A and B are shown apart, each in its own frame.
Chain A
Amino acid sequence: MDFKQDQIFEEILDYSNKINSSVLTITRCLLLTFNIYFRDGLQYRELKTALNISDGKLASNLNFLVKMGYINKKDIKFDNKKLHIYNITHKGKEELKKILNWMDSIKKLLEEVNIE
């Protein structure tokens, strides 16, 4: 392994220690990503349709992200109905950035070793 590869390897390990590994599931990463794209906020029912998962799974993942402070939950009135709207927080954006940096460094390493 040359010096550059060593550096990237160090980088990967460094980023790995900074990431909250509990966020590293497809559902949780998607929930954060959707909330970055849809800055207006997303309704629970919209997330359910998009992810096509059970209420239990969606609720537990959303509750986790709310509890960690990565997204916030707001009660609103919409056509006289009570709905929950979810928005990503600054902390959530920062966490997602850490994951992206970590994945970027893995990609860099793979490019360096030229894996087919």
Chain B
Amino acid sequence: MSEDINIIISALKYWNIDLKRPDRDYSSRFKIQKLAYLCKSMGMSLNYKFTLYLNGPYSTSLTQDYYQAPKLIENLETDYKFDEKDLNILDKISEYVLNHPITLEYESEFLEAVATVRYLKNKYSDMLDDEIFAKTKEIKQHLKDSIIVLAINTVKKLLFKPEFLTEEARKEMDIWDKAED
């Protein structure tokens, strides 16, 4: 079992996510995979390797870890402490993904869509939104169009850094805000 599973358990504990024993519950395994990928893709130091194929992002080594320690995950047992950078990542995922209103009805599918879009953006950094939408739809035919669109916007929020907000961009946003009013 790798040390990385402690980081994942600690993240689940920080978010206060109610999970069942992953060796007995498919939904719990599914959520752990997608959230672990989001943590890694946002910059947390995790060695798990993820692939997109079929029901990805998916990591076989993460799978091995939670099958070896299902009770640790069910009871959220860990003493791992995050630094400020990691806490910032966890807060962003919490704000933009876990607390998104759509999760009330489509929590797993939204998680799947966000993780998939993030994976594609990471792998094909030049892909335009339309292309990301088309690719996601191609490999995840069961996802609703509206969920994919929400996921694309959510990933933009996850990746946004305050330093991106130049004076020029701020002025343009003010114009759009006024237009909305």
Q: Is the CB of A79 within 8 A of B54?
A: no
Instruction: Decide yes or no whether B105 CB sits under 8 A from chain A.
Output: yes
Which listed residue (A34, A45, A78) contacts B141, Cβ 8 A? A45
In the complex, how many angstroms separate the beta carbon of B115 from the nearest chain A beta carbon?
A: 14
Q: Is the CB of A40 within 8 A of B139?
A: no
Instruction: Decide yes or no whether B161 CB sits under 8 A from chain A.
Output: no
In the complex, how many angstroms separate the beta carbon of A82 from the nearest chain B beta carbon?
A: 12
Q: Is the CB of B109 within 8 A of A41?
A: no
Decide yes or no: A79 and B109 within 8 Å by CB, A38-B54, A39-B67 being known contacts. Answer: yes
- On chain A, which size bracket covers the interface? 20 to 34
Q: How many residues of B contact A (CB 8 A)?
A: 21
Tell me the bound Cα distance from A70 to B105 in angstroms: 34
In the complex, how many angstroms separate the beta carbon of B151 from the nearest chain A beta carbon?
A: 14
Residues on the A chain within 8 Å of B105, using CB: 79-80
Q: Is the CB of B60 within 8 A of A46?
A: no
Interface of A is mostly: mixed
Tell me the bound Cα distance from A78 to B107 in angstroms: 9
Tell me the bound Cα distance from A49 to B143 in angstroms: 12
Which listed residue (A42, A48, A76) contacts B55, Cβ 8 A? A42
Instruction: Decide yes or no whether B29 CB sits under 8 A from chain A.
Output: yes
Instruction: Decide yes or no whether A106 CB sits under 8 A from chain B.
Output: no
> Which of A41, A78, A80, A85 neighbours the largest number of chain B CB atoms within 10 Å of its CB?
A78
Which residues of B approach A to under 8 Å, CB–CB? Answer: 26-27, 29-30, 33, 53-55, 58, 60, 63, 67, 105-109, 139-142
Which residues of A approach B to under 8 Å, CB–CB? Answer: 34, 37-43, 45-50, 74, 76-80, 85
